[in-house]
Structures are given as C-alpha cells and as structure tokens.
Structure 1
Amino acid sequence: MLSLLILAIVCLPQFISSSNLALTFDAANSTCTAACTTCSDTSNTDTNQYNTDDGLLNELLNTTRNNGKDIQEMKQKMDGIISSLSHIKETATSNAGAINDILLLVEDLIMLHNDSSSFSPIPTSCQEIKNRQPNSPSGVYLMATNDGTKYTYCNMDELCGSGVGWTRLAYLDMTDATVNCPSGFRLYQSGGVRACGRATSDVGSCTSVQFPSNGVSYSQVCGRVVGYQWGSPDAVYAVSLILITMILILIMLMVLVSLMGLLVNMSGH
C-alpha cells in the first residue's frame, strides 16, 4: 500500500492543469497512467494556459506534496522499526546461541553427575535426602530399598512435630471422586463427604487394611485419619440387651434351682 501511494504521488505532478484528471495504477506492472480531457505538461505550461480550475489544482498539488512528506516521514519511521526488528533478531539469535551453549554445559554437568554417581550412593530414605539437602522440596525421589531401587514420594514438610523427611507408604484422598476405598471397606457418601467404613452388619465388626512398606525401612509411623459418624450409636442398646439377657438367664437358673429343691424334698418324703 505504501509503494502504491508513492508511485501515485510520483505520477501525479506531471499533470497539474486539467479539467478531468484520472490516474490509473497497474500494480502488476508497476506502471502509472493518466487520462484527462484537457491537460498540459507542467514543463511546457505557462501562466496563460491556466484556467479557472488552477487554484483547485494547486491546492490539490500542495496537499499531495504535504501527504508525500507525511508518507516519507512514515517510511522513515518504518525503516527505523525494521532496523530495530533486525537488531532484535540478531540479539535473539545471539541469545539463542548463548542458551544453546548453556544447554551444552548442563548436559556436560549431567554426564559428570552420572559418572560420579558410583561415588554417591542412592539414598535409602527420605530422611537421608533431607539430611543431604535440607532445602529439598516434597516430591518423588529415586530411593534404594531392600527390593531394589524405586521412585518414592517424600514429604519434606513437618509432620507429627518433626520435619526430618517422611516416606509416604499410603495415601487415601477420598475428596477425589476417582479414588476408591480399599478392598473390604464400604463407601459411605453423605452431604458431599466420601468416607470408607466397615461393611454394614447387625453385629459389631471391624475392617482393617495393611499397607506394604515396599522394602522401605522405618522407625516411626505418622498418620492421620479423619473419622465420621454414620447413623446413630447403638452402644446403649447393646448394653441393655446384654443386661436383659443376663437377668433372664439368672431368673431361669433360680427357677431351675427351686424346682430341683422341690423335687429333692418330695423324694425325701
């Protein structure tokens, strides 16, 4: 668009005295043509050839020249922008080279670390990792266990009053709808709360689960269980039933003893 305007301005000053002036620009061939009913070339025109439209044409010429200056200034600004972009491109290319050099150094460091891994044994616990690097964040670490090397999650925060580095053995987040209860447990849901409990039964029972240590040695266990009540407590009902049963048994024994005493008296007579 900018080149089209410049070509149109270059073409226009050749025809300034005209009653009907038309400009045509051929973008494909980069040519500019003009057609007019009455026109004269400025190089061969004197003051006697101007008609009543000369004032308007002069104004048009001045406006065009001013626009040409504006376009020239715009072109200079665009050239400046292009120059700046070229500089940025060169800088980015230079930075890319520097980044590439840094990546090569990182690869060398990784290779050096791998070569020296035999001198630095794999840790056997999260506590050992915490002792080596006190600022280690919670996350998954490679750990040597009795069953071989395994990736284990370490909680480096303070748990149970200690922040020595805890190895996660089990984690059950029932707020996650995709998590299921352990085998043997029943899922209870109420009011948006999901909890695991024992299977429904008419008598007292317990349900338990054992989580393997996966070969990880440990000396302390820290855990938390959030408990919820389902239904109503039946401890009072159970105690009352036992007392009533015992009383009935006692009454039956007393009756039985009385009958036996009566039979003994009758046999004595």
Structure 2
Amino acid sequence: MAVEESRFTHTAEPLCGTAANRCQYKNLPLRDLPPLGVVRRARIAREGLRERRADIPAPGRPSRFAEGDWVRVKDEAAVRATLDDKDRHRGLWFTGSQWSFCGGVYQVERIVRRMIDDHYRVRRLSGTVALAGATCHGADGTQGCGLDCALLFRDEWLEPAPAPVPAPRPVALWATVRGLAEIRATLDPDGRLHGVPFQPGMEHHTGTRHSALELRHRSLAWWQHPTGGRWFILDGLRCGGEPLATGCDRRCALLWHESWLHLEPAATAP
C-alpha cells in the first residue's frame, strides 16, 4: 500500500523494535524461503536501522470525520476525479479491491494519522480513515491477499451518510478465545508462538466469541503459506497499535493460533 511521503518531525517518543514493542506482521507465520522471505527479512532489518538513525514522523492532521461517523464511499466517477494517472491521491493508492465499496455506507472505525506500511516503515498520513468492514477482501469477500487488511480512505473519497439498517451476515465458523493461562502455556519465554507475538491488548479478548476466518495468504506462493498449524482472523478484533511505541492506526487484523481458540462450526454453535 503506497502512502504519501513522510515529513519527519522530532518527537520524544521511543522507537519501535524493542522486545516489548512487536508487530505481528513483522513476524508473519510464513515459510521464509527465498526469494520473498529473504526480501521481507531484509526490509525489516533495513527499516529497523532507519528508525534507530532517524526521528519518527509526527502524526498527520486528523480527518474531517470522527470515529463512529457513518459515511458513504463516493461513486466511481467521483473517486476517479480525485486520482492521478496512477490511481493515487496525495500519494495514497485507491486499490483494486476498494472499487467494490463505492456507493456503500460504512462506519468510520479509526482516524489514521500514522502507520507502519507494507515495507515496515513508519508513515505519516493526513485526512485518512479506516472503515469498519472495508478490507482487502472486497465487498464480496473474494479479493485481496487473505490477511483482511484494512483499506484506507481519503476524506475526499467519502461523504456523510445516515446509518443503514443492520443486515445479518452468514457465519461458517465460530471461535471462542481460550483463557489466558491456556494461551500462556503455548508461548515461549519471549511471549511468541512460532515467532508470532501474543500482543499486548489481546488478553482483553479472552473468553469472547467471534466469527472466524482461517488465514490463507493468497498473494504468496504455496511454499510460503502459513506454518506452525492453522492461524485465524476473528471478526472485529484488530490491532489498535498498543504494542508499538510509535503508534500505528492501520487497524491490521490480529492473528490467532488455533491453540488459542476453541473452534465451533456454525452448524453446531448455539
């Protein structure tokens, strides 16, 4: 995901990259075979060095919308009028899966002012939001990379809208998050399972029940598919940036290992 160039401004906040400040997506449970695995590790190392040498960008300016507001994604013609010849506005790409959300009404989930991008670099954004339910899966659920990435929307692509009538969604699988003691028993001394951290804040979800989607990273070759058992994304549970001293508003889906969950097919769930 491309974003506007960062304007680095001094901040007293500590840098990320310590043992206590870990992003799950820097440790995705994928087979790290060349070439993509080598490239990914090199990017992580490069950006870690960059963060130690440079200031972290200050947060961008807020959106004109507030969290909880209902907005409509403008129609395709109105969005295209804001884009350059590379389908970008102020550096942010309107992705292929975003077109399926045009005309839909969604709730603002997060004001995005700073985030870690796909190259593990901390970026500053202004006038940008994440919308609940608007992810790279697309409106029909068939697109994207399989990680259910939150899509980012510029203010210029949105307009105020009334709240819609809630509609039920089909569920194929339910998951209840196991107790903290059970989860801790699966972790190494550094709080990880297969290299993936059980992030700060995830403990607040123990005992809760959610619809679940198994992680299937569609953008990678078969030899880089998830390892270490089955991993899941739970509906509504997203990272709020708690593990990162820099802060990150990207709202990535939290990753849950099968051993952290009690899984129930929807047909047998009450």
Q: Which has the higher contact order (CA 8 A, sep 6+)?
A: 2
Would the TM-score normalized by the shorter structure come out above 0.5? Answer: no
Q: Which has the higher strand share?
A: 2
Calculate the TM-score normalised by the size of structure 1: 0.15
Q: Which has the higher helix share?
A: 1
Q: Which of the pair has more CA radius of gyration?
A: 1
Calculate the TM-score normalised by the size of structure 2: 0.15
